[in-house]
Every structure is written in structure tokens, then in C-alpha cells.
Chains A and B, each alone.
Chain A
Amino acid sequence: MALALEMKGITKYFSSTDVQANDNVNLTVEAGEVLALVGENGAGKTTLMNILYGLIKPDSGEIIINGEEVQIGHPDDAIKHGIGMVHQHFKLVPSFTVAQNIILGMEPNKAGFLSPKEENKVVKDLADKFNLPVDPKAQIRDLPVGMQQRVEILKVLLREAKILILDEPTAVLTPQEVKELMEVVRDLAKMGYSVIFITHKLIEVMEVADRVSVMRAGKNVGSKKVSDTNIPDLARMMVGREVLLRVKKDTIQRGKPVFEAKDVSVSDVHGLAAISHVSFDVHEGEIVGLAGVSGNGQTELVEVISGMRPLDGGKVFLNDQDITQANVRDRRNAGVAHIPEDRMEVGLNLQTNLDENLIISRYNQSEFSKFGFLLSKSIHRFAETVVNSFSISAAKPGEDISMLSGGNLQKVVVGRELSGNPSFIIANQPTRGLDVGSIEFVHKTLIEERDRGAGVLLVSVELEEIMALADRILVLFRGQIQGELEAKTATEEEVGILMAGGKLSDLVSKQPESGKESK
């Protein structure tokens, strides 16, 4: 088949971070091909795509489209040459309708007036043509993430892109949405479109892509036909060493309960019940996995446990102490660590440096401040310790963190939270957007913490992560605990049924059905 795109010798050096983000990268995509682009966090995938889309100027290199060398200095040029990009963080206007967002900037003009009817029709036709049903009149803010992504894709298609770049499109999707997206991508390829699909989930590579290119430290270290490779092979190419895709875990004796929730109810931001009458506990030396499709109350539950959100009813205990009324700081001082799901907005302050990010929950301790003054030397030393013991090579004490890649940012959060021997760890989607090597690292660290005697509440929408780490599994469905399973005997099928709101009795099973606490 004909080459739709060829990138030759792309090189980009970022002086502000002293990073060779792209180092003489060659990349080809055929028409009608899905190319997966994988690589560790910070390998330079997004940079390469931003160069292709005209957001970043390369230091050197050529871009050849349909056999002709082109200059792309601006996204407008990229669009002109049939390149479209869906960013990981969507760029839609929440208060606009689907149609307004898709049409934005190219409204059919009726003597200077907008014509919503016309716009809706254009979008409807487009959606039909690509078999991507959307409601043109719906407001973006009311749509689930998967639907918003579809809007982004339609937006790109309307601009007549023939090469679509999807930067980590599945990171925020539910498994069902991922499945739908895969079908969309395959359909597009069948219609002759080329798709560059960035992902950290190698299983998705195997499912959706024709070919895969692996990047490491700014270089393209190999391109292969998907049929000629397998997941362990890709993982090795990415990381440059053998990776444990499923970390080893010994069974250990759990201790006394460290955390307890009793009959907890919480409302969401709109005042609607998000969690109703939930009770469970987490013991020392135990990882409790809280499974569930996202949006079933996980966010609210975690905010209540960490003290960020007041609860409507019920009580929470830490080491037998009632902490229902305790604020965030008291809880943290009492030994609660919290890896939040949103590292960019909640877990980190990207406007300040590494040191100040690392002391956010401990600047009051005598080690870091005296007589109201910060002890910058010992803070700096602490930063060095965290950087070394969690090998966050990219982060440097005293320097800004805003340019770190997603994986390194997450390492900063994990390093901060797991320093200082917490007794109870809330880990909410701790590996979202991380590469296989970093996932291995986070998983290993969580298990080490458990072995040390900490209680861990692992909240994850990834069934695999729950199955790999948890000792006990709770399934959250519509704000309630739909069931509890012993991890050793639980099957993915059982958890899946509970996640969908079913009952275990629907399945011929040896597990007793229980929504209650096992004492």
C-alpha cells in the first residue's frame, strides 16, 4: 500500500528541560493502516505528534505526505494537509452543543447569522457517514467522556483529515467505551484513513493496530507488524529490560483493621446521592480493591475518606479513632496517604517546584519548619531522598515540574505519599496513563507497603489491576457495595457481573452473596 505519511530524521531538543525529546526519529504510516505508537512515559511520543500537527517546530527533519515534502508550521497547515489530532485532554467548549463544537470556526454562514438547523444537519450527516451516532443538540458538559471523544473525532473528520492522531485516547474510557472506540478506529482504517494510536496498554495494540512503533528515550527503537510480535516482546522493547506484567505477591497474614467506614453516605457536587450507606474496612497488611465502572461514586468516596469532602451520614475510623470530623491535615498526620486520581489538578501544583510539591502535607512537621520558617535545606534533602528512593530520574530538587511527563509526575505523587511509612494508603487510579515499567514500579511499591503492614485501599476501574493486586475485592455499583469477593478465588467474570450491577446468584458460584461487612 501507499505511504500516507513519512517522517524522516525528526529531532527536537528542549532547552528548558535539557531533554532530547526526539532523536532522529523515522516513522511511516500507510493509507488504511492503524499504527500504534508506544513507549515509556517521556519517550517523546506526544512531542513527535505535536511536531506532526504543527504545535512544535522540530530542530530538523522532514515530513512527507503522499510522497511530497510539506512544511507544517502551524496546526492550520497540518489540517490543510489532512492531519487531525485528538489530544489527550479534550479541547471542547463544555457549554456548547455537540454541533457547535464540531462546526466551531467553520459555521455555515447565512448572511452573517448562525443557523443552528443547518449546523445540526451537517453534523448529523457527518455522523451518519462515519457511523458515529451523536446527538447534535446535546451539550458537551452533559456527555460521558467516551461521547466527548467521539465529538473530537468527528470534529477532525469534518476538517477532512485523512491521518488521525489519537493521543492516549483510551486512558479515560470505560472498558465498554474502549471497545466502541476500537471498532470506530478499525472502521476508519477500512475506509482508507490512517490512524496513529498512542497508548500504554499493550493489549489494545494487539487488538486494534496493524503495525506498532516503539519509542524509547526519544528514538524509534523498532517498528513491527503486530502479527509478528507479542506483549512481553513489546514491553521489553519499550523499557529495555524484562518487565513483570503481573507483579509477584506473597500471601501474608492480615492484621487488625486500620480503616473502617460505617454506613457512609455522600452527595456529589450537584447534591445528589453518590454513595449511600456503605460500610467496609481495610486491615493492616491487606490490599482491598475497590472495583467498579467509573462514575459509580468512587471519586466521592475517596474524597470523604481523605477528608476533602464532608459526608452526609455515617462514620469513618482510623485505628479505632473516630476521624469523621477530622480535617485533611489531622488525617494525614494520623498516617493517611492519598494518591488522587487527578494528579494534574489535585495531586500536584504544576506552578511550583518539586520541593514545594513534596512538602504539601508535611510542611508543619518540625523536620521541615521551625518557628514558622521553612527549613529549605532539610526540605531539599527530603526531595533528594524521594527522588533517589523512587528513582524519579527526570525530577530535580528545586526545579519546576511542569514539563515532566505523565509517568514522572505520577512517580512524584507516589514518592511523596509513600514516604514516611503511612498506615493507611488510598490509591485512586494509581497507574492511569503510566507505561508498563512505571506500572510495575507502582504495583511493586504498593505491595511493599502492604508487606510492611500498611492497609491499602486500591480504587481502580481496571479490572486487571484489581485482580493483580487486591487481597479482597469490593465492587461499587451506583454508590453501593454490590458484592465482596476473596481475590484468591474470584474470577474476572464474577467481578464483571457485579460491576455491571448483577448478582452473584446469577452465576453458578461457590461464593456467598454478600453486601455486608465480613467481620
Chain B
Amino acid sequence: MKNKKFQKILDAILIPVLAILSGLVLMGVLIAITGKPVWESYGVLFSKAFGCEKASNCAIITTLERATPIMLTGLSAVVAFRSGLFSIGQEGQYLMASVVAGWLGYSIHLPNGVHQIVILLACMAVGAAYGFIPGVLKVKLGVNELLSTIVLNSIATLFIEYMVQFPMRADVSTTAHSPIIDVTAQLPTFMAGSKWGVGFVIAVIAVIAVYIYLWRTKSGYEQRMAGQSKRFALYGGVPSDKAAIRAMIISGALAGLAGAVEVMGVHRRIMTGFSTGLGFDGVTAAILGQTHPFGVFIVSILFAGLKLGAQLGLQLKLGIPRELGGTIIGFIILFVAASKFYEGNIDRIRAWFKKPDKQKAKGGGD
């Protein structure tokens, strides 16, 4: 029994692990072509991503901070994908919630503790509403959720830019940004000099909550069944339409939470160019993480680390453009997509793992 479980986990992580290794090897090749020292690059990349030289300047802490919004948008994508909805609306939901967080942070004044909770809830509500739209369009009118979320993403990108440039603009002399939010609206951090804080805890709680929701609750079960087989769900009497809309609402709320955490914990305002594609990183993390909350947890940290390592390590130390980080991630995705490439070999690896098992089964006489 235990062995089977282990086997399943092994199966699930085999492809991502192989993809990541292939991506890293390819990175070495690229660096070698540019004539930079390959081994040193790896070292720098890892130490700047996951190392910790001294407590005040700890790379892994920054990585965890950067992973937080990716984790949440990743979970958002997991909830949608598991329900058979290819929604990539995370970016839009995230941006809409960010506007609300930025605005409520300075426009209302509430005691510490209350203020934050109000903003968190408001952001989830806004994200949920922004997810509800494509959900209802899909169920009632059959509008493809991929297309509608793309459109809604563009609207949100323009909307946040408008809000920053005009109604919420704080200071006309510098680049456009909104006022700094009240201290009561900020999420506490764990240590001075870093922005790693309560937001990360929220994300970890969300990872566990999404897992429990999808696999332990009735509603999650309905969503997965409807997502895996429409005909089966219809046959069994699962209310698929309700499940789809619910999935979009939850997905939106999670992406909204990402916006709240990013504004309240990291930037403490919104500014021009706020959209850096964290929503799309979430989609990628979900796919690479086998559309599983725990997978998303690991992959988002890995992604954040790669980006950070590329930026601080490769670029600053070795003068290798940090875009290489993005390139590696791109390669990794490509390798996952081309997972057929590994399949033959995987079978061989599996057979190798299984050999002793078979002998056991035979020896045990059934």
C-alpha cells in the first residue's frame, strides 16, 4: 500500500523534475556559448536564489517573499483547471484586487487588525466577482473562458494604469503611484529589512485549504468530476454548471488574495507598471506543479528563486542578462509540454524500480 502511494508521487514528480534538470543543463550550454564560466554561474544562481549568507541579507527569504503571489495565483489556476476550466484570468483578478487594496489602504481608516482583514476580504470579493463574469458567460452563453479571461485581463491592465495615472495618483512630480497605505493596512513582516511576512503564511494556509477543498469536500468533488468528465457528471446528477461558476469564484478570490498580499505586504501602494505578469506565472506554476496545490507550493518557490538568482546572481555578479532566468523557465515549460520525449525512458526507470517488487509478489505466492 505505502509503496503504491510512493510510486504515485514518484510518477507525478518525475516529469517536472526531468524538465527542470533539462532546463538547467540547457542554461549551462547557453552560458558556455556566451563564454562565461559555467560552473560558477550555477553556483551564483543557486546561492542568490536559495542561499543565506547572513540573516540580514538572506536570499531564500527574498525568494519566499517573491513566491507568495505566484503561489496564490497558481492555486487560483489549479482550482479552475481541476474543474475543467482553462481560465487564465488570474492576472486580471490580481490587478483588480490590487487597485482595491491600494485604494482601501489610504481612503478608509480602521484600527490595526481590522483594517487588514477588511481589505483582504474586499480583495477576495473583487477577485471573485472578476472571476464570476467569465464563469457565468461560460455557463449561460457558452463563451469560451480562455477568450473571455484574456479580454478581461486587458481591461484590468488598462484599468489599473488609469487609476494610478489619474484618480489615485499621489504625486504629480514623480512617476505615477498611489499614496502609501496606512500602517494599519500593511501586513506585518517577520524581520526587519525583508518583506517576507504574513502574506506567505496566508499563501501556505491557502495551499492546504485548496487541497482540502478539492479532495475532501463535496463541492470540490463535484468540481473535479465535472472537470474530468462532463458526461459522467451529468449521468451521476452532479450540478456541473453550479460547480463551474463556483470554481471561477474561488479561483478569482485566490487571485484577488494575491493582489491584496502583494500591495499590503510588499509595495504598500500601486504604481505604473504594476502588472509584471505574476498571474501568468501562476498559470505556469499550476501546469508545472501537476495542477496540485503541493506542486504549486514547490514550483512557485523554484520559479521565484530562478528569477531572483538570475537577477541578483547572473546579472549583477557575472553580467549575464537576467532574462536568462525567464529563458530557463521557458525551456522548462517547453520540456514539460514535450513530456512524450521522456515517456519511453520513464517506463524504463519505472521497470527498474519495480523489479524487486515483482519478485516479492511472486515469492509471496499472490
A-side interface residues toward B, CB under 8 Å? Answer: 13, 15, 18, 306-308, 327-332, 338, 340, 342, 345-349, 351-352, 356, 359-361, 363-364, 369, 372-374, 376, 399
Complex alpha-carbon distance, A328 and B236, angstroms = 7
For the complex formed, measure the closest distance between the CB of A119 and the CB atoms of chain B, giving whole angstroms: 30
Known contacts A349-B225, A352-B224, A373-B218: does B236 contact A360 (CB below 8 Å)?
Answer: yes
Instruction: Return the contact of B237 from the options A329, A347, A376 (Cβ within 8 A).
Output: A329
**A372 in contact with B4 (CB, 8 Å):** no
Known contacts A332-B237, A356-B225, A399-B4: does B219 contact A346 (CB below 8 Å)?
Answer: no
Instruction: Return the contact of B218 from the options A330, A340, A342, A374 (Cβ within 8 A).
Output: A374
Known contacts A340-B235, A346-B232: does B350 contact A363 (CB below 8 Å)?
Answer: no
**B237 in contact with A328 (CB, 8 Å):** yes
CB nearest to A307 among chain B residues = B237
Known contacts A15-B354, A349-B228, A399-B4: does B235 contact A374 (CB below 8 Å)?
Answer: no
Instruction: Return the contact of B217 from the options A348, A356, A373 (Cβ within 8 A).
Output: A373
**A345 in contact with B218 (CB, 8 Å):** no
Complex alpha-carbon distance, A347 and B231, angstroms = 8
**B235 in contact with A327 (CB, 8 Å):** no
Complex alpha-carbon distance, A369 and B221, angstroms = 11
**B237 in contact with A327 (CB, 8 Å):** yes
**A352 in contact with B350 (CB, 8 Å):** no
Pull 12 A–B residue pairs with CB atoms less than 8 Å apart, ordered by A: A18-B361, A306-B235, A331-B237, A332-B237, A346-B231, A348-B232, A352-B225, A360-B225, A360-B233, A360-B235, A363-B218, A372-B219
B229 touches A (CB below 8 Å)? yes
Instruction: Return the contact of B216 from the options A15, A345, A349, A373 (Cβ within 8 A).
Output: A373
B312 touches A (CB below 8 Å)? no
**B225 in contact with A374 (CB, 8 Å):** no
B326 touches A (CB below 8 Å)? no
Q: Which residues from chain B contact A307 at a C-beta distance below 8 Å?
A: 237
B163 touches A (CB below 8 Å)? no
Count chain A CB atoms within 10 A of each CB in B224, B232, B235 and give the residue with the most: B235
**A347 in contact with B225 (CB, 8 Å):** no
**B350 in contact with A15 (CB, 8 Å):** yes
Complex alpha-carbon distance, A359 and B233, angstroms = 11
Complex alpha-carbon distance, A369 and B228, angstroms = 21
Complex alpha-carbon distance, A348 and B232, angstroms = 6
> Which residues between 194 and 244 of chain B lie within 8 Å of chain A, taking CB atoms?
216-219, 221-222, 224-225, 228-229, 231-239
**B236 in contact with A374 (CB, 8 Å):** no
B53 touches A (CB below 8 Å)? no
B109 touches A (CB below 8 Å)? no
B351 touches A (CB below 8 Å)? yes
Complex alpha-carbon distance, A252 and B224, angstroms = 44
Q: Which residues from chain B contact A308 at a C-beta distance below 8 Å?
A: 234-235
Complex alpha-carbon distance, A360 and B361, angstroms = 33
CB nearest to B235 among chain A residues = A346
Complex alpha-carbon distance, A327 and B219, angstroms = 18
**Chain B residues with a Cβ closer than 8 Å to the other chain, count:** 26
Complex alpha-carbon distance, A340 and B236, angstroms = 11
B357 touches A (CB below 8 Å)? yes
**A369 in contact with B218 (CB, 8 Å):** yes
Interface bits B48-86 vs A (CB < 8 Å: 1, else 0): 000000000000000000000000000000000000000
**A374 in contact with B234 (CB, 8 Å):** no
B340 touches A (CB below 8 Å)? no
**A360 in contact with B232 (CB, 8 Å):** yes
Instruction: Return the contact of A329 from the options B217, B224, B239 (Cβ within 8 A).
Output: B239
Complex alpha-carbon distance, A356 and B221, angstroms = 8
**B229 in contact with A361 (CB, 8 Å):** no
Instruction: Return the contact of A13 from the options B4, B233, B236, B358 (Cβ within 8 A).
Output: B358
For the complex formed, measure the closest distance between the CB of A311 and the CB atoms of chain B, giving whole angstroms: 16
Complex alpha-carbon distance, A268 and B236, angstroms = 21
Q: Which residues from chain B contact A330 at a C-beta distance below 8 Å?
A: 237
Q: Which residues from chain A contact B233 at a C-beta distance below 8 Å?
A: 360
CB nearest to A379 among chain B residues = B221
CB nearest to A15 among chain B residues = B354
Interface bits B5-29 vs A (CB < 8 Å: 1, else 0): 0000000000000000000000000
Pick the 7 closest A-B CB pairs, nearest first.
Answer: A360-B236, A329-B237, A328-B237, A15-B354, A349-B232, A351-B228, A349-B229
For the complex formed, measure the closest distance between the CB of B351 and the CB atoms of chain A, giving whole angstroms: 7
CB nearest to B227 among chain A residues = A351
Complex alpha-carbon distance, A223 and B236, angstroms = 43
**B235 in contact with A351 (CB, 8 Å):** no
Complex alpha-carbon distance, A308 and B237, angstroms = 8
CB nearest to A348 among chain B residues = B232
Instruction: Return the contact of A328 from the options B222, B225, B234, B351 (Cβ within 8 A).
Output: B234
Q: Which residues from chain A contact B4 at a C-beta distance below 8 Å?
A: 399
CB nearest to B350 among chain A residues = A15
Instruction: Return the contact of A361 from the options B219, B237, B350, B354 (Cβ within 8 A).
Output: B237
Q: Which residues from chain B contact A338 at a C-beta distance below 8 Å?
A: 235
Q: Which residues from chain B contact A342 at a C-beta distance below 8 Å?
A: 231
**B234 in contact with A372 (CB, 8 Å):** no
**B235 in contact with A364 (CB, 8 Å):** no
**A345 in contact with B229 (CB, 8 Å):** yes
Complex alpha-carbon distance, A369 and B219, angstroms = 11
Interface bits B323-366 vs A (CB < 8 Å: 1, else 0): 00000000000000000000000000011001001100100000
For the complex formed, measure the closest distance between the CB of A336 and the CB atoms of chain B, giving whole angstroms: 10
**B235 in contact with A347 (CB, 8 Å):** yes
Question: Apart from A372-B219, A373-B217, what 9 extra A-B contacts exist at CB < 8 Å?
Answer: A328-B237, A329-B238, A332-B237, A340-B235, A351-B229, A360-B233, A360-B236, A372-B218, A373-B218
Complex alpha-carbon distance, A361 and B236, angstroms = 5
**A15 in contact with B357 (CB, 8 Å):** yes
Complex alpha-carbon distance, A185 and B330, angstroms = 54
For the complex formed, measure the closest distance between the CB of A158 and the CB atoms of chain B, giving whole angstroms: 28
For the complex formed, measure the closest distance between the CB of A395 and the CB atoms of chain B, giving whole angstroms: 14
Q: Which residues from chain A contact B232 at a C-beta distance below 8 Å?
A: 345-349, 360
CB nearest to B357 among chain A residues = A15
Complex alpha-carbon distance, A330 and B358, angstroms = 47
Known contacts A345-B229, A347-B232, A361-B237: does B358 contact A374 (CB below 8 Å)?
Answer: no
Q: Which residues from chain B contact A327 at a C-beta distance below 8 Å?
A: 237
Q: Which residues from chain A contact B231 at a C-beta distance below 8 Å?
A: 342, 345-346
Instruction: Return the contact of B221 from the options A13, A328, A374 (Cβ within 8 A).
Output: A374
Complex alpha-carbon distance, A329 and B233, angstroms = 10
Complex alpha-carbon distance, A376 and B228, angstroms = 20
**A363 in contact with B228 (CB, 8 Å):** no
Q: Which residues from chain A contact B357 at a C-beta distance below 8 Å?
A: 15
Complex alpha-carbon distance, A452 and B351, angstroms = 49
Count chain B CB atoms within 10 A of each CB in A307, A349, A359 and give the residue with the most: A349
For the complex formed, measure the closest distance between the CB of B54 and the CB atoms of chain A, giving whole angstroms: 46
Complex alpha-carbon distance, A327 and B240, angstroms = 12
Q: Which residues from chain A contact B222 at a C-beta distance below 8 Å?
A: 363
For the complex formed, measure the closest distance between the CB of A471 and the CB atoms of chain B, giving whole angstroms: 27
For the complex formed, measure the closest distance between the CB of A316 and the CB atoms of chain B, giving whole angstroms: 16
Complex alpha-carbon distance, A338 and B222, angstroms = 19
Complex alpha-carbon distance, A351 and B84, angstroms = 13
Count chain A CB atoms within 10 A of each CB in B216, B221, B239, B358 and give the residue with the most: B221
